[in-house]
Amino acid sequence: MSGLEGTTLDHYLLQRRLGHGGMADVYLAYDSATDQDVAIKVLSGNQTTYLERFRREAEAIDKLQHKHILPVYDYGDQEPWHYLVMPYITAGTLSDLLDDGPLSLQQADDILDQIASALQFAHDHGIIHRDIKPSNILLGENTYIFLADFGLAKAIEGTNELTQTGVLLGTPEYMAPDLADGPATTSSDIYALGILLYQMVTGRVPFSADTPVAVYWKQIRDQPLPPSRVNPELSLAIDSVLMRVLDKNPLRRYQSARALAKAFHATLMLPDTGGIPPLPLRVLETRVQEPVSRPPLVEQRTILPAQRRKLNKLATIVIAIGLALFIVIPMTYIYYIYRSHSGQAATTSAAIAVHAKDATATPPASHIQQGTSPDPLSGAKSAQNAVLASKPVLVDNLIDNTLNRWTVDGSHCIFGSGGYIVNNTQVNSLQSCPMLSPTV
């Protein structure tokens, strides 16, 4: 569309062409009404699709009054041309800036913050840009950013699509893989912004090929290299942010442009970013880095056979100590308490001098019925009565002859009512009732 230099559209004099796009050219023009230079996007022809996009851009920008969105001063028609009038930005585009290589992290952070602010504002007002790329980021003085070219913009809730089935709009290097089988969304804009950030910190886009179709096929199929593999001065934290925003699944990306900008800015607060060289130990070159869509897995250590034997031996020792503490020692303690109690009882029996007269008195013969077998406990009961009738006596509450360990002689040592009773049957001598089987 050359040859328009010198053409006047209303009070705008076209001076030279600044750029050429898919459906329009941009010219530097002089506005005689305001006495200033402006930029004019000029569309020639009456193709219905292009005219509708042109009208949509004017309406979208008119709705989006934001400090980082390039405003529209005017728009009109002058057969056979249609035009939009915008400010003339002198410092070029982000594409020009990236020709010199990757940006510093601080500069990338500042530019990302401005773009994200404009894009978030557009999304909040129901507009999807659909063509985020460096040539649509204009640079003002002191790297003041303007988001431009809403020619492919669409309303989030809009139903009037300008594309035919199977036709994709956008620039393949910045197009989200989900556009292959779905409509443009705020997430596809955020993906494009992530590609732009990747390019700012590495100096290149993650996917390139000889043809647009091959590029987009890589967007769909391939995983991007972690940025630190391209620029070794980048940190793992920056890798994490970029690999998340470039996830193939829209649900695992950052859900807003603002969230992406905040996450990237946070990485610059860490000790190994913000211009400070990363820590010497780096492992990205020796392991496969998956897109960070979940919490990295905790690194698993492999236990060698020698280590396993050592651990098994240690476990055996711990178990043995546990058995000693909770079984052997308590049982030993119970045994010695039992022995101590038995010895104490025997000593006490021997130490008491029991003086009783007629301790072994037997009942009169008249008490025994003739022809009747004697009661086996009758002797013990008689002895018990004799013992209870004399003083002193030793009575213990051992009411059962456990395992037949205790002596029972029917007179001196007996089990009777209430316990085990000891009677001294010999005057001025000590007698005891020894335990027959002391072994527990």
**b/e per residue, 344-374, with b = 16+ CB within 10 A?**
ebeeebeeeebebeebeeeeeeeeeeeeeee
For residues 234 and 260, give the distance between their C-alpha atoms in angstroms, rounded to a whole number: 17
Q: Which two tokens stand for residue 245?
A: 């925003």
For residues 169 and 130, give the distance between their C-alpha atoms in angstroms, rounded to a whole number: 8
DSSP β-bridge partners for residue 416: 419
Under 8 Å between Cβ of 76 and 111: no
For residues 56 and 64, give the distance between their C-alpha atoms in angstroms, rounded to a whole number: 12
Under 8 Å between Cβ of 17 and 24: no
CA distances from 388 to 213, 354, 398 (A): 116, 12, 17
376 backbone φψ class: left, alpha, beta (φ>0; ψ -120 to 50):
alpha
For residues 386 and 173, give the distance between their C-alpha atoms in angstroms, rounded to a whole number: 116
DSSP β-bridge partners for residue 12: 9, 31
CA distances from 174 to 12, 179, 307 (A): 34, 11, 51
Catalytic residue among 131, 149, 178, 239: 131
Under 8 Å between Cβ of 415 and 401: yes
Active site residue 131: yes
Q: Which two tokens stand for residue 331?
A: 């049982």
Helices (H), 125-185: none
User: Which residues have a Cβ under 8 Å from the Cβ of 381 and sit 6 or more positions away?
Assistant: 375, 416
Instruction: Enumerate the active-site residues.
Output: 131
